[in-house]
Chain A
Amino acid sequence: MEPMRSHVTAGALLAAMALGAAPVDGQHEGHAMHGMSTDAGWRMVPMDPNMPMLPGLEGAVPVVGPWMPGMGIDAAALPEARPSQTVSMTDGDTLDIAVSMVRRTLAGHEMIMFGYNGQYPGPLIQAPKDATVIVRVTNDIEMPTTIHWHGVRLDNRFDGVPGVTQAAIERGESFTYEVHVPDAGMYWYHPHVREDVQQDLGLFGNLLVTSPDPDYYGPAHREEVFVLDDMLIDDEGALPWGDSAPTHALMGRFGNVMMVNGETDYRLSARRGEVVRFYLTNVANTRTFNVTFGGAKVKVVASDVSRFEREQWVTSVVIAPAERYVVDVRFDEVGEVAIANTIQAINHFRGEFYPEVDTLSVVTVSSEPAEATVSEAFDTLREHADVVADVESFRRWFGSAADYELETTVRVRDLPQSIVLSMEADTLYVPPMEWNDAMPMMNWLSTAEQVTWILRDRATGAENGEIDWRFEVGDVVKVHVFNTPDSFHPMNHPIHVHGQRFLVLSMDGVENENLVWKDTAIVPVGSTMEMLIEMSNPGEWMVHCHIAEHLHAGMMFSFVVEGSNR
């Protein structure tokens, strides 16, 4: 299959999909919904009943129609989703993945969701570094789909971007991906069609690329894969999604039910002194997690596309949507240890920060001691000489001026006037990060038909799909990304670059002294991220915000790398 060379446009990727809508009884928690048409199927987003309602918003619903998966289908007739299974593959092996509807029970609600091979998350694919594995994907859900191999520097033809690298896979059709994995580490795969819906409904899985070096990571007693996610559920089940465009376009769709590996009560056991290696992946639509380990000792070892130059002690792991971190944790204290999302949330209506702790998982630590050698080795922070040397070979570009400057902003139209007035009145202070949905009603009512998120090339003024960057294989490009704090609604953005790897050299001029190769990195409000991108992989590649609703509200463009792999 030849790659399509036409430059991506927002229109091509945002082609509205009529997902269909069917009646769902109205439901809301503590707020009047005067005038709401229950026939439309919308029910108000869950929110604190003490939170005041803005004038004019009673009964308001998004301007797009509601959509639920599998409407008219008896959930009982669908197979129940199974936990993820590991598939070990070697070079040339083939895996068939069926994208289908499954039955899930979450927070006491039986609901129709999506799954890869009926699993939740999808199969954990293990493959050795430098292998090429074949994945045949067949679509049996009611929407077109693709699979994007997030972070993998593979052949452009298999990057999974509809309208750029392939046509979307229609229902009943198949597409065969050849996934070459040149870098060890933890990756993940997900659709690149309406991620706000498909990813939220369970279409994600991990791809663990193993190194031939048995000492690639330090010693650990065992490894655990943690896929972090959230989902928005009320008394009736999952809230509908927008049919022709996403809702929650301002802040993204925060969930109110937290999950690890698709489960709301994920439990582990460990022995005293046991060192557990966690592979963390954030697959949530918009939530950035601050993962704490109950006081256990934690060191960060690796992130998206490589290990860090040096292991580093941390007290928590800040992980934005689509990022991965590998952390080693030693459980020294007997008893229950809560792995939690620990944040300072904001209550806009009270003008306050307040602590919020959501337990993601509980580890029961027994008094039985773990094997001591590994426990003791944990105390040593390792330096990864090969990573240091690799980074060093790019140092000559560290001091150069930026080749490109991007800035982020947002444009809105036709939002309810009370939302506009309220936003304008309450933007004297915008936090660096939005850790919670502090304005659920306003957020829900903002759709991608009214909100346009923008990546703007400062030199040319080109926005999103208008941006035209062209490079040659071997180019090393410095890009500054400035997250404008002065827009209608500033927000943090996890910026993802397809098909290449990059270093975050500095944030706000503060040099990063412990580098790691990334494919996704968060830019807080008001901050400037200095990234150095190695253009190693030819093709047409996306740059976009990985908040699913921001992506579908336009925040993306593509660039071209000419040449061939060296």
Chain B
Amino acid sequence: MTSIVSLLGLLGSLAPTLVAGATLPAAACVAGPPYYAFELHTTKNIAGTGLARGTAEVEVAGSSPFSIALAPDGSYVYDLHVALERMKVPREGQLVAWVTTPEIDRVVRVGALDANLRASGTVDWNRFIVVITLEPDDDPTARTWSGPVVFRGMSRSGMMHTMVGHGALQQENCAAYGYGS
């Protein structure tokens, strides 16, 4: 089985455009359509995060002259806002937000969380995972994380599941669709 570590080694030129945004005002983090917001779940990997909660919200990228922003390949372009709460901020290290594909073969740094435990950026993948890690320091040039994963959450599109191979309505052999036997 391919390890996450080896998949992370594939990082680089395949990374999509993702721009770390400026720190948001404390109250401005909830603007996007709630339907596409998703929770970030604590891993309890570090102290003070047992009761912590996190959210990721997406909104139409503001720079588009159209009602919806798309990347050249047709993927949605979202402004992404992540926020944590009810957690004890670690005394050492820096919380950093990342996005990665479900296969974890590409990773892009969103940015360091600010004093209000928020970070913003842009993501142009249709399906992605937000990862918050505790890094030794704030290194804007880092291509992937090195510290422990503190929070993670899957974009709403991750809930789009296959209807092949399972379910009450299944009547055909899922092997025909590449899903084993």
Contact = CB atoms under 8 A, between A and B. Distances in A.
Given A342-B74, A524-B68, A528-B33, A351 B156 contact: no
A433 interface: yes
A349 B177 contact: yes
Contact of B163 (A425, A486, A514): A425
Contacts of A429: 156-160
A522 to B, nearest CB: 4
Given A342-B74, A510-B79, A425 B68 contact: no
Contact of A504 (B67, B160, B161, B167): B67
A367 interface: no
A512 B164 CA distance: 41
Nearest to A430: B35
B60 interface: yes
A507 B178 CA distance: 39
Interface string B130-167: 00000000000000000000000000111111111001
Given A50-B177, A316-B72, A526-B33, A509 B65 contact: no
6 contacts: A53-B171, A53-B172, A418-B169, A432-B76, A508-B31, A526-B34
Interface of B: 31-36, 59-60, 62, 64-68, 70-76, 79, 126-127, 156-164, 167-172, 176-178
A517 interface: no
Contact of B36 (A292, A350, A521, A526): A526
Given A290-B70, A513-B62, A522-B67, A348 B169 contact: no
Interface string A269-305: 0000000000000000000001010000000100100
Given A524-B67, A525-B35, 20 more contacts: A52-B163, A55-B171, A290-B70, A316-B74, A348-B160, A350-B162, A352-B160, A352-B162, A355-B74, A425-B168, A428-B160, A429-B159, A435-B74, A510-B59, A510-B79, A514-B65, A516-B65, A523-B67, A527-B68, A529-B67
A492 B19 CA distance: 28
Contacts of A351: 160-163
Contacts of B157: 353, 429, 431
Nearest to A319: B66
A428 B73 contact: no
Contacts of B158: 429
A17 interface: no
A346 B68 CA distance: 17
A142 B73 CA distance: 43
Contacts of B62: 510-513
Contacts of B169: 54-55, 418, 421-422, 425
B48 to A, nearest CB: 32
A308 B79 contact: no
Interface residues of A, number: 63
Interface in A291-346: 292, 300, 303, 308, 312, 314-320, 342-344, 346
Contacts of A504: 67
Given A317-B66, A318-B66, A344 B164 contact: no
Contact of A308 (B65, B163, B170, B171): B65
A50 B179 CA distance: 13
A349 B32 CA distance: 28
Given A426-B163, A508-B32, A508-B60, A342 B65 contact: no
Contacts of A54: 169
A314 B162 contact: no
Contacts of B127: 353
A319 B126 CA distance: 19
B22 to A, nearest CB: 15
A101 B170 CA distance: 45
Q: Which 6 A-B pairs have the closest CB atoms?
A: A526-B35, A351-B162, A428-B159, A526-B33, A485-B35, A429-B160
Nearest to B156: A429
Given A509-B59, A513-B62, A527-B60, A432 B160 contact: no
Contacts of B178: 350
B119 to A, nearest CB: 18
B72 A315 contact: yes
Contacts of B161: 351, 426, 428
Contacts of B60: 507-508, 510, 524, 527
Contacts of A300: 65
A508 B177 contact: no
A175 B172 CA distance: 56
A479 to B, nearest CB: 15
A447 B36 CA distance: 29
Most chain A beta carbons < 10 A, residue from B68, B74, B75, B176: B74
Among B68, B157, B169, B172, the most chain A Cβ lie within 10 Å of the Cβ of: B68
A303 B64 CA distance: 13
Contacts of A527: 33, 60, 67-68
B177 A318 contact: no
A174 B159 CA distance: 54
A317 B72 CA distance: 10
